[in-house]
Amino acid sequence: MSIANELHESSLHDGHDHSHHHGYDHDHHGLFHVHTSAKHMKKAFFLTLFILLIEILGGILSHSLALLSDAGHVVTDVAAIGLSWFALHVAMRPSNEKMTYGYYRTGILAALLNAVMLILITLWIIYEAINRFTHPVAVQSGWMIVSAAVGLGMNLYLGFGMRDDEDLNVKSAFLHMMGDAAASAGVIIAGIILMFTHLTFVDPLLSLLIAVMIAFGAVRILRQTIIILLEGTPVGIDFQKVVQAIQAISCVEDVHDVHVWSIASGRNALSCHIVLDGRVTIQESQSVLRAIEHTLVHMGIAHVTIQTEDSGHPHEAKTLCQGHEDTLQKDAHLHHEGEISH
């Protein structure tokens, strides 16, 4: 049985149809997804701007730090969502000779800035809350409740509209919306308590709780963006399972120098070297490569670059790169000098 036939038989057993072209399908899906995400961000931007105006007005009229804190959070929402909206448009620009991966990482930079802004606003809320504990301010609970109720309704509407989107910037915006909704609900409860008890410490106490909630979301987004920028293994990808899946492909004798990273959120990539029998033809090696691509696309990795080698390759047979590039460069330099000497 030929290698191509052997791989085809293997594909029949794994329950997937190899006849479709994953690259084209995923590219079209990605483009549609970016347009959909941009539409979500546009709506979120203008409605969040409306929430901001309502909460600033309500915070001034009610003298509520909790409401003003949430308005301060919404300021970062407006800036972050606007930046993310811009980033999604930039991401749709095609790749070129200077930006061979395109502009997808623009969205990651926007998410990083978003997280940093959230951390800064958290520090501001904590500072203001401490001042309110030592210098209490009377709060007009009626305005506080009405303004927070508007914010709650708008944030729930926006949040549930984008909850299933996989883009990191939209996920970030979803966290903002849900965080704002929870904060608005808390402000309403605090307003009701203040209306009947006049316990002034409730307002700054709620502000601190809002700050903690914001901080958790910011750290989560910050961690994800740092992993992507450092080209770490994407969240949800099991490195060892990926290696084992490649090794399980018929005719693959070994795999080494494996790298798995994210170009941007949801756009995972892999490069590796595979060892084949030196007698394998180019046509047969293509069947091996297609089988690996098919396997990996079902593991969430759509962009795959594979170098085929025989058992005489000069690299260490380790799945993780051990800095052999320096050795290869040195060998190439010595080889070049040898040619010159001759």
pLDDT tens, per residue, the chain with 342 residues? 444 444 444 443 444 444 444 443 333 333 334 444 667 677 778 888 888 888 888 888 888 887 887 777 677 677 767 766 776 677 677 778 888 777 777 778 877 887 888 888 888 888 888 888 888 777 788 888 888 888 888 878 877 776 666 666 666 667 767 777 877 888 888 888 888 887 878 888 888 887 887 788 788 888 888 888 888 888 889 999 999 999 999 889 999 999 999 887 778 999 999 999 878 888 888 999 999 999 999 998 988 999 998 887 777 777 787 655 555 555 555 445 555 544
Q: Does residue 36 sit in the same domain as residue 138?
A: yes
| Residue 274 falls inside a structural domain | yes
Total domains present in the chain? 2
Q: Does residue 243 sit in the same domain as residue 219?
A: no
Residues 201-238 as b/e (b if ≥16 CB within 10 A, e otherwise) read ebbbbbbbbbbebbbebbeebbebbebbeeeebbeebe
> What domain range includes position 278?
235-341
Token code pair at residue 331: 């060998």
| Residue 141 falls inside a structural domain | yes
Q: Which residue type, as a one-letter code, is found at position 270?
A: L
- Specify the DSSP element, H or E, that contains 332: helix 324-341
The domain that holds 258 is classified in CATH as 3.30.70.1350
pTM, entire model: 0.64
Q: How far apart are CA 59 and CA 273, in angstroms?
A: 60
Q: Which residues are CB-neighbours of 120 under 8 A, at least 6 positions away?
A: 76
Q: Does residue 209 sit in the same domain as residue 283?
A: no
* 267-275 β-sheet, strand order: 254-264, 267-275, 303-309
Rg (C-alpha) for the chain, rounded Å, is 27
Among 181, 211, 229, identify where a domain stops: 229
* Nearest-10 crossing angle of helices 282-297, 239-247: 150
Query: Which alpha helices (H) appear in 198-313, and where do they start and end?
Result: 202-229, 239-247, 282-297
